[in-house]
Amino acid sequence: MSDGVLSKDGHDSTPGHLHRLVLFSDAVFAIAITLLAIEIHPPHHWHGVADLFAQMGAKLTAYAVSFAVVGVCWFSHRRVFARLERADGGLDVFNLVVLGLIALLPLATELLWEQRGGEAVLIYIGHVALIGLAMGLVWAYAAFVGKLTQPMPVGEAVFVLLRVALLPGLMCGLTIFSLVKPWGWALLAALVIGLNLIGRRLTPKSTQEAAA
Amino acid sequence: MSDGVLSKDGHDSTPGHLHRLVLFSDAVFAIAITLLAIEIHPPHHWHGVADLFAQMGAKLTAYAVSFAVVGVCWFSHRRVFARLERADGGLDVFNLVVLGLIALLPLATELLWEQRGGEAVLIYIGHVALIGLAMGLVWAYAAFVGKLTQPMPVGEAVFVLLRVALLPGLMCGLTIFSLVKPWGWALLAALVIGLNLIGRRLTPKSTQEAAA
Amino acid sequence: MSDGVLSKDGHDSTPGHLHRLVLFSDAVFAIAITLLAIEIHPPHHWHGVADLFAQMGAKLTAYAVSFAVVGVCWFSHRRVFARLERADGGLDVFNLVVLGLIALLPLATELLWEQRGGEAVLIYIGHVALIGLAMGLVWAYAAFVGKLTQPMPVGEAVFVLLRVALLPGLMCGLTIFSLVKPWGWALLAALVIGLNLIGRRLTPKSTQEAAA
Amino acid sequence: MSDGVLSKDGHDSTPGHLHRLVLFSDAVFAIAITLLAIEIHPPHHWHGVADLFAQMGAKLTAYAVSFAVVGVCWFSHRRVFARLERADGGLDVFNLVVLGLIALLPLATELLWEQRGGEAVLIYIGHVALIGLAMGLVWAYAAFVGKLTQPMPVGEAVFVLLRVALLPGLMCGLTIFSLVKPWGWALLAALVIGLNLIGRRLTPKSTQEAAA
């Protein structure tokens, strides 16, 4: 995009390609996160608040986990896109794969609350891990193939790739594990703090703030 | 975010962090408010307009109350975010809690119209009060911990905190109370006018307009 | 909003009040228009395309009418807001009433296709007329009470009021009438052309383009 | 729109007409694409992952195809609107027809997975082809009637018309065909590559990037 056209698109008339891609993705994230609750209905009969929460506990827990998952994926998505300078057709396609998996999360959440434990949990964690990998593809394409990013050291680009690709699956797995074994939370906290420390060492100060 | 990067993000390519957070939140508010009506269906049999409204009265009342609740929460959210200058990861997390509670409102509304009176109403008001408290957390974090706001007197920051945290629950409780005891409306009006008067005294003129 | 704050909000960090109100309203319009189709499902048994359309005809017609209605309301809303220079709390409230009625349209559409003819049609047209009146309230508040508009002649402001308030109900009534009596389309065309001619005479050229 | 008003609208207060139209359309696309999954529910009984996927295969395939269809339509829409410089009432109307057909895609998808093969597939492909034609109408109106585009050679405008109007139907038809006959993928690849080559020859470099 030439500069003249860019400033024109960005400001006055049509938003530019990257801008429109971000807004479109945000809308899909927002709709998917809000639809998580749409299949939850109150039970037909309940006696008192305690009974109500007892009957709805599985659904509300699954809702909270999925809400956090979409939140983490949205953070990752924002992190990736804050480092991009432009978009192209390949980015559109890989990003669409991420959105297609995000839009399936309400379905996976339903699976989760209908069959707690066992295979449903594994499928759910696998689904979230797949979202992370797809997001890793978006970043790998943008940083290494399409050259869509601001210039950055290779080490930093690889660290972003690993964080974006592995974090959703790891955090989701550890969160569900922590619901059973409380000391899982400590593992989760260690993971988040550790990644932040590595990130701080690798990333120069200015980029850090831009990508916060 | 350095100025250069900021203006670049804001204008031409990716919207900045705070901007994207606001747009994402607005989308969730808009979807939740529109989904409030989605579980309302016309009755199978009805004879004349009066009968139709008689059969649908409970649902439409619950819809109107919830619509006003989301509206008030959106106003509070706009008020808080108009005073922010930047965003960080902590703000993301606390804001996500608010959005997670907002997205549950269609469920709470369904509870409200299925069991009018009694415990369902209390749960509903409790839910709305919780949204207010979560919004208070967002503000407390932004103003006192993350230092994300424009500089402002402590008194004003505390007033914003109280208003944001307590208003949704109070207004919702008084509105539902007023459906039973009409003089509740006078109390509600007094609350709104009183808060506005205090707000005007505490807030310098320029900030008032920015945060209107 | 002081100019400095305005340009800051609009560009770099939080979008300004009016901007956020427009985006929020657009999202509600977009969601309501897309949800119109969500309660339409294919019939369980059908034999050939002709049979499928025969079975779904009533629903698809109601969908098309409602889609056009939301479209017309969105045009009116854009027209009104293109003439505003700023927003205030009163505008928020009146606009929320409009959005609350728009979000009920999927419900009214369901009513329409379940009971074609008779009272359901009248309730539907009444609902749409109510949306127009609510939009008229928004404009009347903005132009005459809150003084939120660009300066304009009173005659023009009154014309906008009448067009915004009456057009949705009239167009919807005439469209449904035209499905029964084909010469209704001529009446509808005359209405649209007539209004455009009056509008062109009343409005100076520059404003016309800004509000197109 | 005069320049002064334009920059004002675009930046500080209300977004301009074209900008608002694009955001509104994006929201409808995003909602339609996310709603594709909403009618998919897990089966009541399933034994192991293989059985789950066997039972849900038809739905997930239909979902993937429709997701790709909406994606392709969104790309086309972005391509068309990136070449526009302003909007008018006619563009609003033709664009609304496109959105009305997009919002019906979840219904057509449901049709697709309930009756695989035979007439449902033909109706689905016909629906997608219709979206392409409606998008072609948008472009034909913008380029040849409303003169809303940046200046461009007639040959290029005609090529854009053909690509926008025919691509969705062709790609959808070939994709579904490829699910049955694997060599259909080769045809699809040839189509995409061929169009890109013609496009590159016809379009000057600068416009290509702006419309990428």
Is pLDDT of B2 > 80? Answer: no
| pLDDT at residue C15, rounded to an integer | 61
Q: Average pLDDT for residues D41-45, to the nearest whole number?
A: 84
Contacts of B27 in chain C (CB under 8 A): 27
Q: Average pLDDT for residues A128-147, to the nearest whole number?
A: 92
Average pLDDT across chain A, whole number: 82
| pLDDT at residue C91, rounded to an integer | 92
**DSSP per residue over A5-70, as a string?**
HHHHHHHTSS--HHHHHHHHHHHHHHHHHHHTTTT----S---HHHHHHHHHHHHHHHHHHHHHHH
Is pLDDT of D161 > 60? Answer: yes
Q: Is D154 exposed, middle or buried (0-12, 13-18, 19+ CB in 10 A)?
A: exposed
> How many angstroms separate the CA of residue A36 from the nearest CA in chain B?
8
d(CA C169, CA B117): 37
Q: Looking at chain C, which residue has its C-alpha nearest residue B42?
A: C111
Confidence of residue D47 (pLDDT cuts 50, 70, 90): confident
d(CA A211, CA A75): 10
Element (H, E) at B20: helix B17-35
Choose the closest CB to A81 out of B14, B38, B119.
B14
Contacts of A111 in chain D (CB under 8 A): 42
> How many angstroms separate the CA of residue A117 from the nearest CA in chain B?
24
| pLDDT at residue D6, rounded to an integer | 33
Amino acid at B71: G
| pLDDT at residue D153, rounded to an integer | 86
Q: Average pLDDT for residues B40-64, to the nearest whole number?
A: 86
Cα→Cα distances A135→A19, A94, A97, A148, A161, Å: 18, 8, 9, 15, 9
Contacts of B32 in chain A (CB under 8 A): 34
Q: Does A49 touch chain B (CB under 8 A)?
A: yes
**Model confidence, pTM:** 0.86
Contacts of A18 in chain B (CB under 8 A): 13-14
Interchain CB distance below 8 Å, C106 and B38: yes
Q: Average pLDDT for residues B20-26, to the nearest whole number?
A: 90
Contacts of D35 in chain A (CB under 8 A): 31
> How many angstroms separate the CA of residue C27 from the nearest CA in chain D?
7
Q: Does B197 touch chain A (CB under 8 A)?
A: no
Contacts of A34 in chain B (CB under 8 A): 28, 31-32, 35, 103
d(CA C141, CA B129): 31
Interchain CB distance below 8 Å, B27 and C27: yes
Can you say whether the dihedral through the CA atoms of B42, B47, B53, B59 is positive or negative? negative
**Half-sphere exposure in the Cβ direction for C136 (13 Å, CA):** 17
Quick: pLDDT tens for B64-85.
989 999 998 998 898 899 888 8
Percent of chain A having pLDDT more than 90? 25
d(CA B17, CA B24): 10
> How many angstroms separate the CA of residue D112 from the nearest CA in chain A?
18
Choose the closest CB to C209 out of D1, D15, D23.
D1
Q: Is C83 exposed, middle or buried (0-12, 13-18, 19+ CB in 10 A)?
A: buried
Eight-class DSSP state of B144 = I
List own/partner pairs for A149-152 with CB under 8 A and 24 or more apart: A149/A83, A149/A84, A149/A85, A150/A83, A150/A84, A150/A85, A150/A207, A152/A83, A152/A207
Quick: pLDDT tens for C31-88.
999 999 888 888 888 888 888 888 888 889 889 989 999 998 998 898 899 888 888 8
Q: Looking at chain A, which residue has its C-alpha nearest residue B122?
A: A49
Nearest to D138, CA basis, from D91, D100, D96: D91
Choose the closest CB to A27 out of D30, D36, D206.
D30
Amino acid at B142: A
Best residue of C2, C3, C12 to probe chain B, by most B CBs closer than 10 Å: C12
Quick: pLDDT tens for A113-128.
887 557 888 889 999 9
Interchain CB distance below 8 Å, D92 and C86: no
Q: Looking at chain C, which residue has its C-alpha nearest residue B85?
A: C13
Q: Does C24 touch chain D (CB under 8 A)?
A: no
Q: Average pLDDT for residues A86-111, to the nearest whole number?
A: 91
Q: Does A11 touch chain B (CB under 8 A)?
A: yes
Q: Average pLDDT for residues A158-174, to the nearest whole number?
A: 86
| pLDDT at residue A164, rounded to an integer | 87
Find all residues with CB under 8 Å of A46, minimum gap 6, and list them.
A52, A55
**Pair of tokens at residue C182:** 């084909």
Eight-class DSSP state of D44 = S
d(CA A199, CA A76): 13
Q: Does C45 touch chain B (CB under 8 A)?
A: no
Eight-class DSSP state of B116 = -
| pLDDT at residue A101, rounded to an integer | 94
Is pLDDT of D211 > 60? Answer: no
Task: Please tell me which chains touch D, using 3 or more CB pairs under 8 Å as the contact test.
Answer: A, C
Q: Does D123 touch chain C (CB under 8 A)?
A: yes
Is pLDDT of D1 > 80? Answer: no
Average pLDDT across chain C, whole number: 82
Interchain CB distance below 8 Å, D12 and C31: no
Residues paired with A84 in a beta bridge: A149
- Cα C161 to its chain centre, rounded Å, is 14
Is pLDDT of A8 > 50? Answer: no
> How many angstroms separate the CA of residue B145 from the nearest CA in chain C?
19
Amino acid at B14: T
Q: Average pLDDT for residues A100-110, to the nearest whole number?
A: 92
d(CA B20, CA B26): 10
Contacts of A11 in chain B (CB under 8 A): 11
d(CA C80, CA C96): 15
More confident residue, B212 or D186: D186
Interchain CB distance below 8 Å, C20 and B78: yes
Instruction: Please report, for chain C, the start and end positions of each structural domain, with discontinuous segments joined by +.
Output: 13-210
Amino acid at B163: R
Is pLDDT of D11 > 80? Answer: no
Quick: pLDDT tens for B110-165.
888 887 557 888 889 999 999 999 999 999 999 989 888 888 888 888 888 888 88
Interchain CB distance below 8 Å, D103 and C42: no
d(CA C55, CA C41): 11
Nearest to D104, CA basis, from D131, D83, D79: D131
Contacts of D85 in chain A (CB under 8 A): 13
Name the least confident of A11-15, B188-192, C98-102, D25-29.
A11-15
Nearest to D107, CA basis, from D41, D56, D36: D36
Choose the closest CB to B34 out of C1, C9, C28.
C28
Q: How many CB atoms lie within 10 A of CB A184?
A: 16
Residues paired with D84 in a beta bridge: D149
Q: Average pLDDT for residues C117-140, to the nearest whole number?
A: 89
**DSSP per residue over A108-170, as a string?**
HHHHHHHS-STHHHHHHHHHHHHHHHHHHHHHHIIIIIS--BPP--HHHHHHHHHHHHHHHHH
Interchain CB distance below 8 Å, A28 and D34: yes
Helix (H, G, I), strand (E, B) or coil at C206: helix
d(CA A200, CA A194): 10
Q: Does A4 touch chain B (CB under 8 A)?
A: no
Contacts of D13 in chain C (CB under 8 A): 10, 16, 18-19, 84-86
Nearest to C159, CA basis, from C195, C186, C128: C195
Is pLDDT of C121 > 60? Answer: yes
Is pLDDT of C137 > 90? Answer: yes
| pLDDT at residue C140, rounded to an integer | 93
Interchain CB distance below 8 Å, C206 and D2: yes
Tracing tokens 């008020």 back to the chain, one arrives at: B79
Is pLDDT of C11 > 50? Answer: no
Amino acid at C182: P
Name the least confident of B129-133, B199-203, C38-42, D25-29.
B199-203
d(CA C204, CA D4): 16
d(CA B36, CA C103): 8
> How many angstroms separate the CA of residue A196 from the nearest CA in chain D?
32
Vertex B40, ends C98 and A39: CA angle to 5°? 115
| pLDDT at residue A117, rounded to an integer | 59
| pLDDT at residue D30, rounded to an integer | 92
Nearest to A27, CA basis, from C22, C24, B11: C24
Q: Does B19 touch chain A (CB under 8 A)?
A: no
Is residue D24 a contact partner of residue C74, using CB atoms and an 8 Å limit? yes
Interchain CB distance below 8 Å, A88 and D212: yes
Average pLDDT across chain D, whole number: 82
> How many angstroms separate the CA of residue C119 from the nearest CA in chain D?
27
Name the least confident of A17-31, A97-111, C196-210, D94-108.
C196-210
Amino acid at C169: G
Counting one residue from chain B and one from chain C, the pairs whose CB atoms sit within 8 A come to 100
Best residue of A14, A39, A107 to probe chain D, by most D CBs closer than 10 Å: A14
Q: Does D147 touch chain C (CB under 8 A)?
A: no
Q: Does B147 touch chain A (CB under 8 A)?
A: no
d(CA B6, CA C13): 9
Interchain CB distance below 8 Å, B34 and C38: no
Task: Please tell me which chains touch C, using 3 or more CB pairs under 8 Å as the contact test.
Answer: B, D
Predicted-assembly ipTM surpassing the 0.85 threshold: no
